[in-house]
Structure 1
Amino acid sequence: MMNISSIVEDNIRDDLQHTSILIYKMQILSMYHLLWTSYWQSGLGQLIKQTSEQQQQQNYVVYSMNISFWPKEIKQNIDTSTSSMDLVCYHRQELERQLRQIQIEWNNKVNHFSGYNLKVEQLLKDYIIQNLFEFQKEIEHKIKLVTYDYQIEAIKQEFNRQNSTEYQKKIMKQLCLKRDEKETTEQELKFLQERINHFNVLDQTFEHSAIIDSIENIEIRQQLQQQYRKIIQQAKTDFYMLSLQTAEEQRTRARLNYDNEVNKMYSIHHNAFDFTILPLK
């Protein structure tokens, strides 16, 4: 017959597991809500606010940031019967509803959880956030790309108000594409570096080989395990280095292409009497 202490331990383990799952869900929903809020702010024209320092700069075209611009992620998911605003509002409200529901469930759980305190809660949160690192960085990456697309659209609209020629508009379109490539490659490189740093911190062990573990001779088994560990670590290092090298080369090419387009743009306006500098760099 199972004793009382074993029953208590099982209950505590079940409560901890349930609480952890609820915290995990709240973290996921909160991150998704941040992403959809960025979509919503972009559509409302409230994603970016210019600083007073920018507005006070001389030879600086203060282009409007109050533009309604829906990211391509939203445009690709609407049909004739649904507007972008309806889609975004629905997802934000649904995420908020689910988050409130889980928060209520979490409150009920911890209020009846004997021994649960702020220290236990923080330990659970730290562990969950650590394991959500890659997902969190992916969401942050998407939000930054939404911001860059918004900035580019604001610059394009201001440029079109400058009575530009068709050739100038063509150059500007090419410039925006190159800037998009530049910002994307820089963010991808940063994202990759953060992932590698994160994995290096966590990677304190190595995968075991069933064949090596089955060797009875302890000395031979330990030698093979050391060799196996070195091979695994070297393979990971080579892969990380190759990935970084490829990402850095892509960023370098994107920067060069963007700078060439900027120089081309400046050369077109070089002799203009009322030339004002658009913030292209």
Structure 2
Amino acid sequence: MMTTYNNKTKSIQNLCNFTNSEQYGNIEQQVQAQNSTYSKPMEENIRLKELNQSSTMKNIQEEIKKIPQYLTLENKSFQIVIDQALSMIITMKTRNNQRKKLQDIALLVYKMKLILMYRRLWTIYLKSGMGQLINQSKIQCNYPVDVKIWPEEVKNILSSREINKRNEHKICSQFVKCCLRKFNDQLEQYHMKWHKETDHFHGYTYQILQLFENYMKQYLRPLCLKIEHKIEVLHYDYHIQAIKHEYNRHNPNEYQVSTDQLD
């Protein structure tokens, strides 16, 4: 090998130039740590299996599994990237019949990037629902920011389920943790496969990984921006709901409530 494992992996964490390294971090560390974070009690298996069949999760899984057009060997732009990668391999002998293998490696990087982005969003869902979204040491508010507020996106996904105020927290937390486990399992699977493929690819270098990432960045940027926008809106909505919660906690009289509704 011409590069160490750490050199190969350090670039994957940079999904977009505006992402927070604290949120993404090293893939290997996240795979090891996250799998134990969302443990699954056996009595919840049936419920979680049912929830995991939601149309939202199915759509995400389909997106992860499909091959985007810009990563097909027929795409002229990707052909140029593959040619550049092949030119980095020293001997002509090692270049033969390597195009498909390089595509497979690029697809694994793409899948890991998608999973990390969606997992970031669903982690925010969980933090909001568990009252851990706002760091009290970093922001001063005159209202509690440890209120457990499940985002409307989560509740809308589960709108067809038997949810009421009494069991909402349990159902939502089970569902979101189930989805996060799914992402973690997939990330581990693709990470191990990527590690194996690159270890057995003679001539694979960190520079080739950078080449793939720079190429994908332009295509993944719209999704990155979309998810970051969703996260910003989630923070904004959380503060609104936290203020409402504090207001209702003070038992407003009928006149105050009616005045607020007029406003």
**TM-score over 0.5 for the alignment?**
yes
- Select 2:125's aligned residue among 39, 43, 57: 39
Deviations, residues 163-197 of structure 1 (Å, cap 9, x unaligned) = 433343345457xxxxxxxxxxxxxxxxxxxxxxx
Q: CA deviation at 1:6?
A: 8.3
Counterparts of 1:266-281 in structure 2, within 5 Å, are none
Q: CA deviation at 1:16?
A: 1.4
Partner of 1:146: 234
Structure 1 counterpart of 2:127, one-letter code: Q
1:65 corresponds to 2:153: no
Partner of 1:12: 98
> Contact 2:94 / 2:203 at 8 angstroms: preserved in 1?
no
Partner of 1:92: 180
Q: CA deviation at 1:140?
A: 0.9
1:112 corresponds to 2:200: yes
Q: CA deviation at 1:51?
A: 3.9
Cα distance change, pair 52–138 in 1 and its aligned pair in 2 (3 A): closer
Aligned to 1:85, what secondary structure does the other structure show?
A: helix
Higher helix fraction (1 or 2) = 1
- Select 1:21's aligned residue among 85, 88, 107: 107
Partner of 1:77: 157
Partner of 1:157: 245
**TM-score with structure 1 length normalisation?**
0.54
Structure 2 counterpart of 1:142, one-letter code: K
Cα distance change, pair 74–9 in 1 and its aligned pair in 2 (3 A): same
**TM-score with structure 2 length normalisation?**
0.57
Cα distance change, pair 170–14 in 1 and its aligned pair in 2 (3 A): farther
The separation in 2 between residues aligned to 1:71 and 1:53, in whole angstroms, is 21
Structure 2: segments with no counterpart, 5+ residues? 1-90, 164-169
Partner of 1:166: 254
The separation in 2 between residues aligned to 1:148 and 1:66, in whole angstroms, is 15
The separation in 1 between residues aligned to 2:150 and 2:130, in whole angstroms, is 9
Q: CA deviation at 1:104?
A: 0.3
> Contact 1:33 / 1:95 at 8 angstroms: preserved in 2?
yes
Q: CA deviation at 1:43?
A: 0.7
Cα distance change, pair 15–67 in 1 and its aligned pair in 2 (3 A): same
The separation in 2 between residues aligned to 1:69 and 1:152, in whole angstroms, is 11
Structure 2 counterpart of 1:77, one-letter code: I
> Contact 2:117 / 2:227 at 8 angstroms: preserved in 1?
yes
Deviations, residues 129-169 of structure 1 (Å, cap 9, x unaligned) = 22101011111111111111111111111122334333433
Identity of aligned residues (%): 36
The separation in 2 between residues aligned to 1:106 and 1:89, in whole angstroms, is 25
Structure 1 counterpart of 2:211, one-letter code: L
The separation in 1 between residues aligned to 2:124 and 2:245, in whole angstroms, is 20
Give the paired residue count.
Answer: 165
Structure 2 counterpart of 1:107, one-letter code: H
The separation in 2 between residues aligned to 1:99 and 1:172, in whole angstroms, is 47
Structure 1 counterpart of 2:162, one-letter code: T
Structure 2 counterpart of 1:135, one-letter code: L
The separation in 1 between residues aligned to 2:235 and 2:138, in whole angstroms, is 19
The separation in 2 between residues aligned to 1:120 and 1:173, in whole angstroms, is 59
1:54 corresponds to 2:133: no
The separation in 2 between residues aligned to 1:140 and 1:147, in whole angstroms, is 11
Q: Taking CA–CA contacts closer than 8 Å with sequence separation of 6 or more, which of the two structures ends up with the larger relative contact order?
A: 2
Structure 2 counterpart of 1:148, one-letter code: Y
Q: Which structure would you say has the larger Rg?
A: 1
> Contact 1:45 / 1:68 at 8 angstroms: preserved in 2?
yes
> Contact 2:94 / 2:202 at 8 angstroms: preserved in 1?
no
